[in-house]
A and B are shown apart, each in its own frame.
Chain A
């Protein structure tokens, strides 16, 4: 068998779409004629890409996580209040925010798997609870401030040998992406996709379906907390910081060709979907599309992209199914064995 690059179905168009957007950026924006521009784009996109990676785990295993936007807000608001500008509190607050994300994800997962409530409802409930509880605790408006150490991850740069100055958020994003890719190539990752495809089969194959699902939700919660730390640094403290991020993350994942309902799609494509979304915003800005119309254009593009993915499927299928003898595992006819 000859080696050739293998992409999960729906991945290729997502990458092509991203490439087109990047080329578009290079043509329209002078800042995008050199790497620095793209690095800035990547830095802006990092929180959404990280959220999309987390959301990917949940969606590919057959669920939804609507709570991530509220979780991001909660993370930022909690951090601001606890740090209160006090630099020495940075480290433990970061750990606490991460732990909080982990806990929220764990609860989402436990309620979904043990109480058999559809994850859409569980995470919708969690969204309400988080929104309410955060503001109940802070008394309506975010208080306190983040320390510089905290904000460094969202806005600062790190000195990397060879490459020079690279934003922390990009480094964090890349390490998460690499870890996610390795995870998805491994047995647990493949089993997670199989759960989204047919959980009865995984159970009857000796897999721990509930644990895999739980893992997906926990990862999503944890990554939402990471995104909160980056966004808090990048955008500052506000009660609206996470507004609508859940929908944006789901959109990004779907834009990456991942099947809603689970069982198909790649994590790289999900992250690429998030980058596409961010590149699209940038492009629209450069083109001078008014801020208000941006969401309309976004809406149209999402619908077109998803429609292309599902309607174009027939064409790709035809190409795949066309007999390719050189690829067959073996050529024996079923009858002669």
Chain B
């Protein structure tokens, strides 16, 4: 506090600092890193006489990004609100099963299947939100507990893929325009919608406020419980979309499709890689999509280079920690700058 008190700057100086601040926005860095990665990846793949960003490569990257992107969009909302959701991975599996089993191969049941899956997802999100706000359990434990419950349900009732998605619905998973899958476009549309929600609507503003400082938000009249619950419902619905998408791609529901891909921790990694503060209050969807694309590009590049799949995990871990270390350095540098000028 006292360092700030000693710091009364003339207005002009501050204005220049604000612009510097904006130019170095984390989202910009994420996309610069993505471009750099694409260039480096293209060169490396090019050295092998292949092309990274041909039709197939782009398709590959976008396909990988779709399911993770959907989960990460939802995860962004809860993290911005200062919470966390570890139950998304099992939820993805559960919703894929609900969708596929309800559809049971009939075209007429597509809509009911989708709606039921989303409704169940919303219900799980509601439970998460209520446990956190009403029972006051830490989000980590609350969603871990819900994840265990979902897991118990899945293990008890399923041993493998179940349900059947009608052929018509599988188009969602495979149709594309040029190299761009329809599903990726839909994912981007969801992203755009959530971006709008977070940056343009009151409930979105309130998510930033609750994540920034829940007590401040409460004192300012923000309905903090409702905000947290909303974030969790939206997060789960986004995971539900991912489950439906995966069902359409796989042709059936699969109980462990979400956990095998590690969507719980992976989505958190993508969000943080996208420059959102793990503690909440700062960041956004645009960065998350950048983070997801970086992870997808890394995967695709390594596949093209035929690198050992286990090596990918190693690189992923290093990239994640390095990126967050860079963000942390920038924040510290900004603060130091503010103190000394």
Contact = CB atoms under 8 A, between A and B. Distances in A.
B278 A118 contact: yes
Given A111-B325, A302-B141, 16 more contacts: A115-B328, A128-B317, A132-B310, A132-B312, A135-B310, A136-B314, A140-B310, A250-B140, A251-B141, A296-B151, A300-B145, A303-B131, A303-B146, A306-B145, A307-B137, A310-B137
21 contacts: A64-B140, A115-B328, A116-B325, A127-B265, A127-B317, A128-B317, A129-B314, A129-B317, A132-B312, A132-B317, A247-B86, A247-B144, A292-B152, A293-B156, A295-B149, A298-B148, A299-B148, A300-B145, A302-B148, A306-B137, A306-B145
A306 B278 contact: no
Interface string B56-95: 0000000000000000000000000000001000000000
Interface of A: 64, 66, 111, 115-118, 120-122, 124-129, 131-136, 140, 247, 250-251, 254, 260-261, 290-300, 302-303, 306-307, 310-311
Contacts of A118: 278-279, 324
A121 B324 contact: yes
Contacts of A292: 152, 155-157
> In the complex, which range does the number of interface residues on chain B fall in?
35 or more
Contacts of B268: 124
Contacts of A124: 265, 268-269, 317, 320
Contact of A260 (B141, B150, B157, B324): B141
Contacts of B269: 121, 124
Contacts of A117: 321, 324-325, 328
Residue among A118, A300, A303 with the highest chain B CB neighbour number at 10 A: A303
Nearest to A121: B324
Contacts of B272: 121
A209 B67 CA distance: 41
A120 B148 CA distance: 20
Q: Which 3 A-B pairs have the closest CB atoms?
A: A296-B152, A132-B313, A299-B148
Residue among A261, A294, A298, A307 with the highest chain B CB neighbour number at 10 A: A307
B138 A254 contact: yes
B156 A296 contact: yes
B314 A293 contact: no
B302 to A, nearest CB: 11
A152 B181 CA distance: 56
A306 B325 contact: no
B156 to A, nearest CB: 4
B147 interface: yes
B252 to A, nearest CB: 20
A118 B312 CA distance: 22
A298 to B, nearest CB: 5
Given A111-B325, A254-B138, A297 B152 contact: yes
A302 B144 contact: yes
Contacts of B216: none
Given A296-B149, A302-B144, A303-B145, A122 B321 contact: yes
A20 B304 CA distance: 57
A115 B330 CA distance: 11
A12 B69 CA distance: 44
Contacts of B150: 299
A142 B316 CA distance: 22
B131 A120 contact: no
Nearest to A136: B310
Contact of A132 (B136, B157, B311, B325): B311
A279 B316 CA distance: 37
Interface in B131-167: 131, 135-138, 140-142, 144-153, 155-157
Interface in B321-337: 321, 324-325, 328-329, 332
B318 A125 contact: yes
B288 to A, nearest CB: 15
Given A295-B155, A302-B145, A311 B317 contact: no
Given A111-B325, A131-B313, A311 B136 contact: yes
A299 B156 CA distance: 14
B136 A310 contact: yes
Contacts of A136: 308, 310-311, 314
Contacts of A140: 310
B152 A295 contact: yes
A64 B140 CA distance: 11
Contact of B320 (A116, A128, A254, A290): A128
Nearest to B320: A125
A125 B317 contact: yes
A241 to B, nearest CB: 17
B332 A111 contact: no
Contact of A290 (B156, B318, B325): B156
Contacts of B321: 111, 115, 117, 121-122, 125-126
Contact of A133 (B136, B153, B314): B314
Contacts of B141: 250-251, 254, 260, 302-303, 306
Contact of A294 (B152, B315, B320, B328): B152
